[in-house]
Structure 1
Amino acid sequence: MPSARQHTYRTELVWTGNLGTGTDTYRSYRRTHEVTVPGAPVIAGSADPHFRGDADRWNPEQMLLASLSQCHLLSYLHVCAVNGVVVTGYTDRAEGTMGETPDGGGHFTEAVLRPAVEVASPDMAEKALALHARAHDLCFIANSVNFPVRHEATVSVSGE
């Protein structure tokens, strides 16, 4: 059944790593690139340093993990707001695991989100913890990947 609403997203990527000879050899170019969308800051990207990339730029694996973390946050804030849970703070220290395959490819095997949530009062803590499951069910990005996305959430109360 088709979706009632459809959203289209566009980005532009420009490779900036031509050192003068293009991809003449595997070591003759940088993996640097820039990702843009109208009206937003440029994202400076590269490959993971393990794959000849630059450590001072975002790599695709980090961006995928950041997307999962952001999407969960946004879904979670929504479900808390509509369920009477007042969130006053939220941090996440997410971690993803990717395995390489013998042919040079690879894939993520899991992501673990570790949201540390702060709520306004003690009577909200249990519900705040439980709402992570609903947020996961609603997260567009988590619903789009083919590996498990787990949550190890904690909840504390503001001022305690």
Structure 2
Amino acid sequence: MESLPHQYSVSVNAEKENELETTAPHLPTLLVAPPSQFDGPGDKWSPEELLLAAVANCYVLSFRTVAGIAKLDWLHIECTTDGVLNKVERNMLFTDIVTKVTLIVAEESLRPKAEKLLKKAEQVCLVSNSLLSTKHLEIEVVVGG
């Protein structure tokens, strides 16, 4: 890892009516539009979905890191993040974010270590740590292949 601080940059370009073109150095353009809940087309990524995707992706990458350091032998991880957008006072914000994680390990003896590392991943996830909404982690460890 490079020494901190890290800097990131994205740019958004748009015309009056079309989807947004979101770019970052060395990455393909991402088309973004409002979700159907805001009368958008619902066929493009929305800022709301991108925020939840950032939480889920950061969690899985954080888990990979802590599991690698701890030398946990795991087989597969699935992570789903759901968010509730609501109005609080006069502002709309995500009031609740639930991350559901299922981890598959090969042996029952790995379950305690796996559960500990799944919780550790939430603690070190920089995206989740940057959000003010209430966050919940639901984990499941499955033995099998």
Task: Give me the TM-score of the superposition, normalised by structure 2.
Answer: 0.90
Q: Contact (CA 8 Å) 1:77, 1:87: kept in 2 or not? A: no
Structure 2 residue aligned with 1:52: 39
Q: Contact (CA 8 Å) 1:69, 1:92: kept in 2 or not? A: yes
2:133 equivalent to 1:156: no
Gaps of 5+ in 1: 19-28
Structure 2 residue aligned with 1:12: 11
Distance 1:89 1:106 in 2: 35
The one of 72, 94, 97 equivalent to 2:84 is 97
Point out the structure with the larger helix share.
Answer: 2
Distance 1:156 1:116 in 2: 7
Counterpart of 1:12 in structure 2: which amino acid?
S
Q: How far 1:80 moved relative to its partner?
A: 1.1
Q: How far 1:121 moved relative to its partner?
A: 2.2
Query: What CA deviation, in whole Å up to 9, does each residue of 1:64-89 have, x standing for no partner?
Result: 10100011111111111111211210
| Larger RCO (CA within 8 A; separation ≥ 6) | 2
Distance 2:89 2:97 in 1: 22
Q: How far 1:38 moved relative to its partner?
A: 2.2
In our comparison, the structure showing a higher alpha carbon Rg is 1
Distance 2:34 2:87 in 1: 14
Q: 1:110 to 1:101 in 2, by over 3 A?
A: closer
Counterpart of 2:118 in structure 1: which amino acid?
H
2:73 equivalent to 1:74: no
Structure 2 residue aligned with 1:147: 133
Gaps of 5+ in 2: none
Q: How far 1:120 moved relative to its partner?
A: 2.8
Q: How many residues align?
A: 143
Q: How far 1:138 moved relative to its partner?
A: 0.7
